[in-house]
A and B are shown apart, each in its own frame.
Chain A
Amino acid sequence: MMRFLLPLVAFVILVIFLGVGLTLNPRQVPSPLVDKPAPAFRLQQLYDTSKTLSSEENLGKVWMLNVWASWCVACRDEHPILVELSKLGIVPIYGLNYKDQRDTAMQWLKQFGNPYEMSIVDADGKVGIDYGVYGVPETYVIDKQGIIRYKHIGPVTVESLKNKILPLIQELKG
C-alpha cells in the first residue's frame, strides 16, 4: 500500500506546484519602487509644449500616473476604463506619453477620449527607466507625500480598480 501511496502523494504535490505555476503571470514582477518616493521629473506637456510639469507640483494630492502610448495596443483595452474613471472625478490621472510621436499621440486621444488631467511627454523613455517601466501600459498610485503606493503592470481592469486601486485611493485620501 505504502509503496503506491508515496509516489502518488509526490506526484500530486508536483501537479499542484505546476498547476499554481501555470496561473502565475511572469510579467507581474514586484516593483522595488513601491513604498518609495516617486522619482522626480520635469517634463514637457503634450498639448502646451511651452509648459512643463514637475513631480513636485503634485505633492499634497493623491494622483495616478498612467504610462501610455499610441503604439501600445493594450492601452486601447484599458482606455475606456480610464475615461470612465476620470468622469467619476475621484482621482486625477496624469498620462506619461511614453516614447511616442506628438501628433499621433494627440490624434489618439482625440479618437479614444482624453481621461488625463494632463499628459506629459517622455520622448526618449528616460523617465520611464526611472519608474521601472518595461511594459506599457503601467499605472502608479502616488500619495500626498509623493510616495508610490501601488504599481499596476498591464491594462487596468474593472476588477483591479474595484478590488485594489479605488479602495487604496480612498484610504490615501482619508
Chain B
Amino acid sequence: MMKRLIHTQISSLKHYLMVLILSFMSLQGYAATEAVPVAEDLELEKRLVDLAENLRCLVCQNESLAASRADFANDMRREIREQMRMNKSDEEIVEFLVARYGDFILFNPPFKSTTWLLWFGPFTLFLGGGAALIFYLRRRRIQINEKDSPLTESQRLRAESLIKEINKD
C-alpha cells in the first residue's frame, strides 16, 4: 500500500518535473523568437519611435506602431527602419505608408475635403450651441419683461392702500 502510494507520488513528481522542464523549454523558445534585434543605432531608433508614435497599428487600432506588439507593427517598424537607413525623410516614409494603407494609418488626420467634417464639426457644434444659448436667454429676458408689465389701476390702488396701512402701524 505504502509502496504504491510512494510510487504514484514519484510518478506524479516525475510528471510535474516534466511539465516544469517543458515549460522552461517553451519559455526559452518564446524568448528566442521574441528577441527583437537590439537597437544598433540609438539615434535612428529614437527617430523611429518619434515617427511611429503618430502612426496607427491597423491590427490593434487604438495602439500606435511604436507601442504595439502585434506582428504587423513589428513588420512596419522594420520597414520604417530600413527606409530610414536608406536616408528617406520622415515625410517620404509617411507618404509611402499612406499610399498603401490610407489616411487611416495617421493618428493626426490631414486637412482635406473629406476630413472637413472632422476638423470643423466640433467647432460648428460649439458655435451652434452658443447661438442656441444666446437665442434662448434673449427670449427668456423678453418673456420676463413682458410679465413685468405695469399694474392695472385697481391693482395700484390696492397696493397703495396696503402700503398706507403698513405705514400707519
Could you give, for residues 125-137 of chain A, a 1 whenever the CB lies within 8 Å of some chain B CB and a 0 otherwise? Answer: 1001111101100
Which residues, 123 to 150 on A, are CB-close (under 8 Å) to B?
Answer: 125, 128-132, 134-135
- Chain B residues with CB under 8 Å of A26's CB are 61
The 10 A-B residue pairs with the shortest CB-CB distance, nearest first, are A134-B58, A132-B100, A32-B102, A29-B104, A132-B101, A125-B75, A134-B72, A129-B79, A134-B59, A26-B61
21 contacts between A and B (CB under 8 A): A26-B61, A29-B101, A29-B104, A30-B102, A30-B104, A32-B98, A32-B99, A32-B100, A32-B101, A32-B103, A99-B71, A129-B75, A129-B79, A130-B100, A131-B100, A132-B102, A134-B58, A134-B59, A134-B72, A135-B58, A135-B59
Residues of A within 8 A of B (CB): 26, 29-33, 99, 125, 128-132, 134-135
A131 to B101, CA, bound (A): 8
Beyond the given pairs A31-B102, A134-B59, 20 more chain A to chain B contacts, judged by CB atoms under 8 angstroms and listed by A's residue number, are A29-B58, A29-B101, A29-B104, A30-B102, A30-B104, A31-B101, A32-B98, A32-B99, A32-B100, A32-B101, A32-B102, A32-B103, A99-B71, A125-B75, A129-B100, A131-B100, A132-B100, A134-B58, A134-B72, A135-B58
In the complex, which residue of chain A has the Cβ closest to the Cβ of B105? Answer: A29
A99 to B78, CA, bound (A): 14
In the complex, which residue of chain A has the Cβ closest to the Cβ of B79? Answer: A129
A44 to B139, CA, bound (A): 76
Most buried by B among A26, A99, A132: A132
The smallest C-beta distance from A128 to any residue of chain B, in angstroms, reads 8
In the complex, which residue of chain A has the Cβ closest to the Cβ of B101? Answer: A132
Chain B at the A interface: SS class: helix
Chain A at the B interface: SS class: loop
Which residues, 40 to 82 on B, are CB-close (under 8 Å) to A?
Answer: 58-59, 61, 71-72, 75-76, 79
Is the CB–CB distance between A29 and B75 below 8 Å?
Answer: no
In the complex, which residue of chain B has the Cβ closest to the Cβ of A130? Answer: B100
- Chain A residues with CB under 8 Å of B103's CB are 32
In the complex, which residue of chain A has the Cβ closest to the Cβ of B103? Answer: A32
A48 to B75, CA, bound (A): 27
Is the CB–CB distance between B100 and A33 below 8 Å?
Answer: yes
